[in-house]
Each structure stands twice: as structure tokens, then as C-alpha cells.
Amino acid sequence: MPKVSFVVPVFDGDAYLAETLNTIRGQSIQDIEIIVIDDYSPDFTPDLMDWFCKQDSRIIYKRLEQNGGVCEARNYGNKLANAEIICVSDQDDLSYPYRAEFTYKFFQKAKHIDCLTSAYNECNVDGHPKRNFMPPHMTREIFESGQFVWMHSSAAYRKADILALPYREEDQKTDDYVFLDDWTKAGKKFWTVKKVLADCRRLPFGVMNIRRKVQGLEPSYIE
């Protein structure tokens, strides 16, 4: 049984997926699994994953029969996970080599914490860190203030918890925003560590900027 499962939803993400998967494959502990859920991508994701699955038996690849959205992909991947602990990763973000080991040991000790997050770097399209962020421990008060920073791809939680309170769609809101709304409202306990566990790649055509455009906000991608 793996100690940690990484769940990676993918849609039209073949440009950066290989780099993302290689950062996960290079973890300091080997007993992990990598679950890639292809949300009916129109690109070369199936061919890329065919190659990766032949290289690494820890990778589980599933392609949905139709596009259902990132929440459906995440929920499906979380159900498939064989580990008690699940690490979140988007298709273009980068995990540090010690992430799985640190996360596993953290949850062995911190029984009262439901969701672990970390400090993180924002990167440009080439994956070069440009800005560092150290978010506070997420609370309902911080969430309702709207003045928070947060990186979904540094998050980890227990499988039992995310299956009991899964991802869901709501209007034009991002999946991680609704996740935070649901989990803080339910009284889930968050903890943010100063150690950087993952980097966030900010892309001009990424989900974040698509949402910001819909909301009439300035783009947040990094040159």
C-alpha cells in the first residue's frame, strides 16, 4: 500500500504535465502512487501517459469518456486513491522532492489537522520561482475576509475526509475556492508550514486568469 497518493486532474495540459509528473516521481520516498485523471483532453495527453505508464508502475491513468470538469476529475481520482493521505497537484505545478515524506510524517503526528498547506513560490511559464508567499493558517474568518493567499497544489488531506466532503461546482468559482468555503464552514482544521512543498506556475491562459478575466480583474500571470 502506498503511503501517499498524488491525484492530478488533467485537461489540455500536455505542455507541462511531463515536468509535473517528474517532480512527483522524484519523491524521496518511493512508496507513493500517482493517479492521473484525464478529463477527456483534446491534446496528446493519452500518448504522453501511455509512455509514462510504461516507465513507472506507480502511475494510474484513467481517461474520462466525456469532459466533466475538474471537480468530477478530482473526486474520481480521490476515490481511486489507495493511500490514506492524498496530495493535491494541478497539471502544471511542481512538487518538491521531500513533499510526500514530509506530508506523511506530518499527518502521523498531527491527528487534529484536516488539511496541510505550505509556503509556496509563484513561477513563470518556465518554472522559475519569482515570488514567495507564506499564507497564514486558513480559518473561516480569513476566508470570509477575502484577503488570503492559498495554493491548492501544496494541499494534502485524508482520503476519508475528502470523500465525506468532496469537491463541487458552484457558478464561476474555482474548485479550490469552493473547497475552502465548504471545509472552513464545516470547521475543518488547516495548518500551513513555512517549508515550501510545491511551486505554482502562473500561466496567461491558466484557470486562475480565465476566472480573473470573467470577474473583470487584472491578469496575475508572471512573465
| The pLDDT of residue 128 | 85
Is 221 a member of any domain? no
Residue 152's domain is classified under what CATH number?
Answer: 3.90.550.10
In a domain, 78, yes or no: yes
Residue 63 has pLDDT above 70, yes or no: yes
Q: Which of 7, 151, 123 is nearest to 76 (CA)?
A: 7
pLDDT of residue 213: 46
State the average pLDDT over residues 121-125.
87
| pLDDT given at position 61 | 98
Q: How confident is the model at residue 76 (pLDDT cuts 50, 70, 90)?
A: very high
The pLDDT score that the predictor gives to residue 204 is 58
C-alpha cell at 154: 501544496
Residue 219 lies in a domain: no
Asked if residue 223 has pLDDT above 60, the reply is: no
Q: Does 152 fall in a domain? A: yes
Q: Is residue 220 part of a domain?
A: no
What pLDDT, on the 0 to 100 scale, is given for residue 189?
98
Residue 168: per-residue pLDDT: 97
Count of domains forming the chain: 1
**In the predicted structure, residue 33 carries a pLDDT above the cut 70:** yes
Cα separations in angstroms, 7 against 35, 137, 184, 222 = 5, 23, 22, 26
Domain assignment of residue 9, given as a range: 4-214
Tell me whether residue 128 is in a domain: yes
- pLDDT attached to residue 220: 55
- The pLDDT-based confidence of 217 (bands split at 50, 70, 90) is very low
Give me the mean pLDDT over the 178-207 stretch.
90
Query: Does any domain span residue 151?
Result: yes
Q: Evaluate whether residue 21 is within a structural domain.
A: yes
Task: Give 108's contacts (C-beta < 8 A, 6+ positions apart).
Answer: none
Specify whether the CB–CB gap between 202 and 124 falls below 8 A.
Answer: yes
pLDDT of residue 126: 82
pLDDT band at 137 (very low <50, low <70, confident <90, very high): very high
Q: What's the whole-number mean pLDDT along residues 177-200?
A: 97
